């Protein structure tokens, strides 16, 4: 069975409409904002990372407080990050959606806790989930 002229015309019209939509510029409603801004902190080797609310949710960022233990400090081992040069760090969360890497010194680890000789003061919020992702963001890995 041969298609009639109306069938060919209809198929041609649908194809033309479909192809016309392919060349349009993307609308602003589909543009994705940058998930983070990274600002250098003058005189320091670390940066200030500010995440969007959506990025923080996608990374499932979670925090806990630094605790005092005798004359030292205690943090969850999950908060500790070791950089490629062997330095120990945690990410502090000084204000909502803001993260700053801070060097620490570890005395010992017991179970899931790291006992520090140097680090952020007791009561400081530190990241326990999302630490490697923050490090990757700070160094713009994958950009």
Per-residue DSSP letters for 24-38? Answer: PPPPGGGPPPPSEEE
Torsion angles phi and psi, residue 98, rounded to 5? -115, 135
pLDDT of residue 23: 55
pLDDT of residue 29: 58
pLDDT of residue 82: 96
C-alpha 91/C-alpha 128 separation (Å) is 8
pLDDT of residue 90: 98
| DSSP letter string, 100-141 | EEEE-EEEEEETTEEEEEESSPTT-EEEEESHHHHHHHHTTT
Q: Compute mean pLDDT per 10 residues along the chain, 143 residues long, and list them.
A: 47 44 54 82 94 95 96 96 96 98 96 96 98 92 63
Q: Which tokens go with 68?
A: 């005092």
pLDDT of residue 58: 94
Q: Count of alpha carbons within 13 Å of 26, Cβ hemisphere only?
A: 5
pLDDT of residue 141: 77
pLDDT of residue 140: 80
- For tokens 């298609």, name the residue: 3
């Amino acid at each position: 069975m041969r298609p009639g002229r109306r069938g060919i015309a209809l198929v041609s019209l649908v194809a033309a409409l479909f192809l016309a939509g392919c060349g349009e510029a993307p609308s602003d409603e589909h543009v994705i904002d940058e998930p983070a801004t990274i600002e250098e902190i003058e005189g320091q080797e670390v940066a200030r990372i500010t995440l969007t609310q959506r990025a923080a949710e996608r990374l499932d960022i979670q925090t806990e407080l630094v605790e005092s233990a005798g004359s030292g400090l205690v943090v969850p081992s999950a908060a500790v990050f070791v950089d490629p040069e062997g330095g120990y760090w945690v990410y502090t969360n000084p204000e909502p959606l803001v993260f700053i890497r801070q060097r620490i010194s570890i005395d010992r680890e017991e179970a899931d806790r790291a006992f520090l000789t140097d680090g952020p003061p007791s009561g400081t919020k530190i990241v326990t989930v999302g630490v490697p992702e923050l490090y990757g963001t700070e160094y713009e890995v994958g950009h």
